[in-house]
Chain A
Amino acid sequence: MQHTSTQDTLVGLFVASGIIGLFFLAMQVSNLSSFVSEDSYTITARFGNSGGLKIKSPVSAAGVKIGRVTAISFDQKSFESVVKMNINSKYNALPDDTTASIFTAGLLGEQYVNLDAGGSETPLKNNGKIEITQSAIILEKALGQFLFKSAEEKK
C-alpha cells in the first residue's frame, strides 16, 4: 500500500507540474495576461495614413503604454484611416486637444500611436475624437522627397 501511495503522489506531482508549465506559458509567455479586461474607454483618431499600424499595436503617452489599438478602418468619404483605441480608464484626464501621431519604435521596430497632451481643461470622453493627428512617416516617401530635393539643389 505504501508503494502505491508514493506512486500516486508522484503522478500527482507530475500532473501538477505539467499544469503549472501550461499556466506559465499562458500567463508569463503569451499575451493572455494583457487580455484581462481592464476598464477602458474608446477614442478614435483619423489619420491621413496609418502606415504599418496594426490591431493590438500599443498606444502610449509620454512613453508610457496606456492602451491598445482595437480597430483600423478606411473611411470611404474622407479617404482617411480611422483608428479606434482602447485607453485604460486609469488615464481619464487626457485633454480633448490631445495630438495623436504614429511613430516607429526604433529604426525597424513596430509602429505605435503616441498621444501628446494639449492644454485644454476638458478631458476626452468615451467615444471621443482626437482632432489633431500626424500621419505615419512612410520611409519611401521621405527618402523620395529627400532625393528629389538634393537633385533640385544640384541644378
Chain B
Amino acid sequence: MPAFLEYLGHSTRISFTKLGRASYFLVQILAGIFSLLARPRLLLKQLYSVGVLSFLIITISGLFVGMVLSLQGYYTLSDFGAEESLGVMVAASLVRELGPVVSGLLFAGRAGSALTAEIGLMKATEQLSGMEMMAIDPIRRIITPRFVAGLISMPLLAALFSAVGIIGGQMVGCGLLGVDEGAFWSQMQSGIDFKDDIINGVIKSLVFGFVSSWIALFEGYDAIPTSEGVSRATTRTVVNSAFSILGLDFILTALMFGEH
C-alpha cells in the first residue's frame, strides 16, 4: 500500500511537472511569433508540410464522411417523410461537429505525429543543441513556424472538410437517393446560421489546431532522445491530441450551443 501511494504521488507530480514545462514551452512559442513575421519564408515551408500534405487525406475523408452521413440520414429521415431535411442534417452535423473534430483527429494523426517525430529526431541527433551552439534559438527557428502553420492550416482544413462533405452529401442525396436538389439546398440555407454555426465551427477548429500543434511540438521537444523515446512521444501525441480534441469539443459545444 505505501508503495502504491508513493507511485501515485510520484506520477501525479511528474504529470504536473510536465504540464508546467508544457506551459512554459507555450509561452516561449508565443513569444517567438513576432520575430516570425520578419521571416515569412520559414512559415511558408511549414505551411507546405503541415497544410498542403494534409490536404488530400482531409478532402477524401470529408467526401466519404459526407456521403455516409447522407446515406445514413436518408434512411432515418425517410421513415418520417422528412427527406427534404437531409441537407440541413448533413450540413449541420458537418459544420458544427464532424468538420472540426474529424479533421482535427486526422490532423493530429497526419501532421501532429510527423511533427513530433521530426522534432524528436532533431533532438536525438542533437540538431537542436547544435543550433543553440550557433546561438540560434531552436524555438524561434524550428518550433514557432510549425506552431503557426498548424494554427493557420486547421481552420482551412476543417472548412475544406465540411465543404467537400456537403458536396459529397449532395451527390449521394440528390444523385443516388433522389432527394430534391432545391429542397436540399434551401432547407440547408434556412437551417444553418452563419454566426451560430459556421463561425463557431471555425472557432472550434482554431482551438483544435492550437491544442494539437502544441501537444505535437511539446511531445517532440520533450521526448527522450532515443529511438524508443521518439516512438513513445509520437504515440502520446496522437493519443493526447485525440483526448484533448474530444474533451474540448464537448466543452466548446456546451458553451456555444448551450443556450438554445
Contacts and interface: CB of A to CB of B under 8 A. Distances in A.
A22 interface: yes
Contacts of A25: 95, 159, 162-163, 166, 198, 201
A21 B185 contact: no
A30 B162 CA distance: 12
Contacts of A29: 91, 95, 162-163, 166, 188-189, 192, 198
A28 interface: yes
B35 to A, nearest CB: 21
Interface string B38-61: 000000110110011001000000
B57 to A, nearest CB: 13
Given A29-B166, A30-B194, A14 B189 contact: no
Contacts of B120: none
A18 B189 contact: no
B157 interface: yes
Contacts of B198: 22, 25-26, 29-30, 32
Given A7-B45, A11-B47, A14-B52, A21 B192 contact: no
Interface residues on B, range: 20 to 34
B217 interface: no
Nearest to B51: A14
Interface in A19-61: 19-22, 24-26, 28-35
Contacts of A8: 44
A71 interface: no
Interface SS of B by simple majority: helix
Contact of B193 (A20, A31, A108): A31
B185 to A, nearest CB: 7
A18 B193 contact: no
Contacts of A132: none
A152 to B, nearest CB: 34
A52 B254 CA distance: 26
A63 to B, nearest CB: 14
B55 A14 contact: yes
A121 B155 CA distance: 55
B222 interface: no
A7 to B, nearest CB: 5
A31 B52 contact: no
A14 B47 contact: yes
Contacts of B47: 11, 14-15
Contacts of A108: 82
Interface string B190-227: 10111001100110000000000000000000000000
B157 A22 contact: no
B33 to A, nearest CB: 18
A24 to B, nearest CB: 5
Contact of A26 (B45, B91, B157, B194): B194
Given A25-B95, A29-B95, A29-B166, A11 B48 contact: yes
A10 interface: yes
Most A-side CB within 10 Å, residue of B44, B156, B166, B188: B156
B137 to A, nearest CB: 24
12 contacts: A14-B156, A15-B152, A17-B156, A19-B156, A21-B159, A22-B202, A25-B166, A29-B198, A30-B192, A31-B192, A34-B189, A108-B82
Interface of B: 44-45, 47-48, 51-52, 55, 82, 91, 95, 152-153, 155-157, 159-160, 162-164, 166, 185, 188-190, 192-194, 197-198, 201-202
